[in-house]
Structure 1
Amino acid sequence: MGAGVVAVGGSAGYTHLLDPNRTWRNNKRLIALNAWIALLLITSSTVGFDGSMMNGLQSLPQWQDAFNHPGSSMLGLLNAIQNIGALAGLPFTPYLSDGIGRRPAVIFGAGIMTVATVLQTASQSVGMFIGARFLIGFGLTFAANGAAMLVTELAYPPYRAPLTSLYNSLWYSGAIVAAWSTFGTFKINSSWSWRIPSALQGLPSVLQLALLWFGPESPRWLVSKGRDTEALHVLAYYHADGNKEDPLVRFEYEEIKASLELDNAAAATVGWKSLICTPGNRKRLTIIVAIAWFSQWSGNGLASYYLNQVFETIGITDPTIQLLINGILQIWNLAWAVSAAALVERIGRRVLFISSCAGMFLFFTLQTVCSARYAITKSDSAAHAVIAFIFLFYTFYDIAFSPLPVAYTLEILPYSLRAKGFTVLNFVISIALIFNQYVNPVALHNIGWKYYIVYCCWLLFELAFCYIFIIETKGLSLEETAALFDGEDAVDQIHARGRPSGEERSTKEYVSED
């Protein structure tokens, strides 16, 4: 597993090259870089807004009246259509991101979503609403593919893991705005009670469409297109105050070039087959598919899209109470997800994944027990316990499956497979969401709390999988992570080709020096 390349204390190969006086707090260039990254991170907010908005709209009588009180099957379609749209765009996303660049891909997706949210806000029929949501999903898949890769490929090395982890965590920032906007518009006695939240969904896309033209492109993408001078300029400008001879910049630049040479040589003739052509890539693909499915099929889909139906199984039918709990839950989720993203480099990915699965299994089981008790006794204390266990369940979901699916996927993939592998992640997530969004409302309507038992069993499987398969990547650069899947020789070749002239250190020395 390449353990020898991991430094004592988890230090990456670039650690000794960092300027200790250059931090995001006191360096104008890093502040500017992180501002661009923040503009990319809010792509995830659109996804969170959508789920929470649909939760809130189901509690609004005005929305129910406007769309003829949709039944279980129609609710499934209304929720799933966004992911069906995402699925339709997925085959094209890696070619756009690799072909024209990460930044143009985000701008292209943001443009589609801006138009789609206008149509959603102006909807006069359920068909128009469904069509607009399809377009939102279609545009989102391009924006998300480019944004997540651009974050991980632009970030200052010590901040890469927390910032990439923050990408998916900001799902809840959109969820909070949606939850509280639907709560705030609940008393508006017109269609604007649901049109205002629909319009707010487009705000992140409008900001990206207006500003990203002026942002930086991925240095790795620039090198892959032979635009080495531009790549070196981006690295130097943002990572070293414009100094192209800075040791960190030279290390990053040479390592990117060497890594791309190896990746391109390996992938030149196999394309998508490269995802399964080696043991290391097959292991990557297995993990990516698993964590993508787990991220949507751990019981979280019930509260994310059908919280009102969960409440109805425990006797909470007042729309005001439903909307209030939904709003508080999203704030709770954001706090835990952002905290986990900030600590991912200290705690490690493996510990977070295993702890998350164990905690989810415990509290979802307790939620199931209390739901069953309420069904039998109609006890208020059992209903209150269910709410408490929903919050505790999400605490453990948030510490791994909010910050890590995107971050872990991007860091275990070499550059040549990054866009394709990330597309696989999003494809599996979309399939899991579509399945959930069709099955959950029907199952809840027909068998109520008994449906929870399925998730209890599945969570136990997730715990076993993460314990066996998840590999720790804490403290490694994107290029060095290859050693954990492809062996130490892969990293030795990268460092041998990318080492500045005069350097004769071995891989182990390169990554263990502090």
Structure 2
Amino acid sequence: MGLITVRGRNLYRLMQFICGTSFMMYGYDAGVLGGVLLHQPFLDAIGNPTGEWVIPWISSSYSLSACITCLIVATFAFRIGRRGTIILGNCAAVIGSIIQATANSVAQLTVGRIITGFAIGCISSAVPTYLAETGAEIGDRGPANALNASMLIGGIPIAYWIDYGFTKSNRQFSWRVPIAFQCIFAVIAGSCMFFLPDTPRYYYAKNRHDEGDAALVRLHDAPLDSEKVQLTKREILFAIEAEDEAKSSLHWKLFLTSGIIDRTPMKIIRRLCICFWLPMIREWMGSSLMAYYSSVILSQVGARPSLVSLLAGILNICFALGCVPLYFTIERVGRRSVLMYGAMVMSVLMLIFTVLQAVPATPAIQWAGIGIIFVFLFVFGYAWQGCVWLYASEIAPLEYRHIGGAFTGCGEWLMTFITVFAGPIGLTNVGWKFWIWVLAGNLVAVAFVFFLCPETGGKTLEQVDFLFSAAPFVSAAEKRLDIEEAWVEGDAQVKEVEEVGVKG
């Protein structure tokens, strides 16, 4: 009963913690297998596979499953809600983790990875939307998603250090326990989510107005007839009305141009395409490559074998720490500036790193390369890890936000699959030239944000709708909002007159 009665800021903090725990499991699962892939008891359990593609397939099947899941989720997520999708994901995570932890063959392990990928597809597509839509204040969304990103990346070093400790043993539990450990995150997040409401915007979009009113009242910790609650409700309902009017101009062929030629009143197709391409570009920039294969990369750069494990663990901690400053600065700096200038800095760092890998190696050059990797991942954590989830959840239209979340997860996991599957092959066969591909991703990111991504900070989700609208449509929307504000001011003035009359 305690969770049911929590209200206001405490309720939103609880939502952040539960969503963050789901994302921590996501990060943990992304990192845990990498620490045991070459562990002999693990290899013995799955029959010591010798094929060149077996280990990359085991790692990447999870990402491919998450990618496909995100598209499947788009077909039913609006029926079960943001909350229901998160609960479904955590339930599937428990099942997938148990199958993996008890695996005695490549086939069973792959099935477990696919089910866990389904779980992560659900969670990654729903959690950012849930956090964005439950924020009672304009400045809530940035810090909430920054905290979420910190917990996501924090799951990777937790997985690494648990692997590091358990793999000192050569018994079967040394790899089974770390994989099963992720169930703890899923059980906590999934069970707690049962006691929380879905988002007010979801309820209103489904015409469940009583539940939407109740959720708004709890989040604002204010009566239903209060000015703040009523203004928020009217803005949401107006955005739903505007999106309904824009639906008639939608056509699937517009997706073929990635929304570049989008003449719909609210640029719905363009916004959904941005939700897909932005996280895909992030993975092209080297995020998962660094997380999954940090030990391999450090070895190739020139780190001594005795230091590789230690440096890889510290590197993943550095990645997580990069997300921390975002919590305090995102609302002041803005999403667009963080993404664009972060990509510029990372492009310079990756250019220097690529040159260092191309020239003959010396101890100084090797340590310089290692240092750049640390700085690169810290900047990456700050600029692109949390901000992409936040931006994609903000620009997607309300009635299509479940599709935007699905597209975000699909783009993320499609490129993760390509990176995780092809990354070790490229690093082995192409050498330093492979980093030119990563550098290209960073340069594309700068151009993409500069030309296609307007600033969404400092606006309500409903106001973001009209950043992409044609001028006449914006004028109509602004007039309607002005009228709504005038109504609120008029109500306040009437109340003042009544109070004066009573006192007189």
Indicate whether 1:287 and 2:274 are aligned: yes
Alignment of 1:432-443 (within 5 A): 432-443=415-426
Which residue does the alignment assign to 1:331? 317
Rounded to whole Å, the distance in 2 between the matches of 1:47 and 1:259 is 32
Rounded to whole Å, the distance in 1 between the matches of 2:417 and 2:480 is 41
**Per-residue deviation, 1:273:** 7.0
**Per-residue deviation, 1:58:** 3.5
Indicate whether 1:233 and 2:214 are aligned: yes
Indicate whether 1:116 and 2:102 are aligned: no
Alignment of 1:74-223 (within 5 A): 74-157=54-137, 158-223=139-204
Determine if contact 1:29/1:237 at 8 Å carries over to the other structure. Answer: yes
**Per-residue deviation, 1:60:** 3.4
Rounded to whole Å, the distance in 2 between the matches of 1:283 and 1:271 is 12
Which residue does the alignment assign to 1:32? 11
Secondary structure of the residue aligned to 2:53 is helix
Determine if contact 1:183/1:324 at 8 Å carries over to the other structure. Answer: no
Structure 1: tracts of 5 or more residues without a match = 1-26, 506-514
Alignment TM-score, normalising by the size of structure 1: 0.85
Rounded to whole Å, the distance in 1 between the matches of 2:457 and 2:288 is 29
Determine if contact 1:113/1:136 at 8 Å carries over to the other structure. Answer: yes
Cα deviations by residue, 1:276-320 (Å, 9 ceiling, x for unpaired) = 5535234424433331221101123321112222123134463x6
Rounded to whole Å, the distance in 1 between the matches of 2:286 and 2:121 is 23
Determine if contact 2:320/2:378 at 8 Å carries over to the other structure. Answer: no
Determine if contact 1:370/1:386 at 8 Å carries over to the other structure. Answer: yes
Determine if contact 2:29/2:182 at 8 Å carries over to the other structure. Answer: yes
Which residue does the alignment assign to 1:314? 301
Which amino acid counterpart does residue 84 of structure 2 have in structure 1?
Answer: P
Which residue does the alignment assign to 1:17? none
Higher relative contact order (CA 8 A, sep 6+): 1
Determine if contact 2:227/2:488 at 8 Å carries over to the other structure. Answer: no
Change (3 A) 1:238 1:454: closer
Determine if contact 2:322/2:380 at 8 Å carries over to the other structure. Answer: no
Rounded to whole Å, the distance in 2 between the matches of 1:70 and 1:302 is 23
Determine if contact 1:224/1:260 at 8 Å carries over to the other structure. Answer: yes
2:350 to 364, 369, 375: 364
Rounded to whole Å, the distance in 1 between the matches of 2:436 and 2:190 is 44
**Per-residue deviation, 1:403:** 1.0
1:343 to 329, 337, 345: 329
**Per-residue deviation, 1:271:** 7.8
Which residue does the alignment assign to 2:32? 53
Determine if contact 1:293/1:432 at 8 Å carries over to the other structure. Answer: yes
Indicate whether 1:278 and 2:263 are aligned: yes
Structure 2: tracts of 5 or more residues without a match = 1-5, 492-504
Which amino acid counterpart does residue 469 of structure 1 have in structure 2?
Answer: L
Change (3 A) 1:121 1:106: same
Rounded to whole Å, the distance in 2 between the matches of 1:38 and 1:441 is 35
Which amino acid counterpart does residue 432 of structure 1 have in structure 2?
Answer: M
Change (3 A) 1:327 1:312: closer
Root mean square deviation, CA, Å: 2.5
Cα deviations by residue, 1:91-149 (Å, 9 ceiling, x for unpaired) = 33133321122111111111111111011111111221111010001122123322222
Percent identity, please.
23
Determine if contact 2:159/2:178 at 8 Å carries over to the other structure. Answer: yes
Aligned residues: 474
Cα deviations by residue, 1:319-367 (Å, 9 ceiling, x for unpaired) = x633322221222122211321331111111211122111111111222
Change (3 A) 1:306 1:313: same
Rounded to whole Å, the distance in 2 between the matches of 1:41 and 1:364 is 30
Which amino acid counterpart does residue 225 of structure 1 have in structure 2?
Answer: K
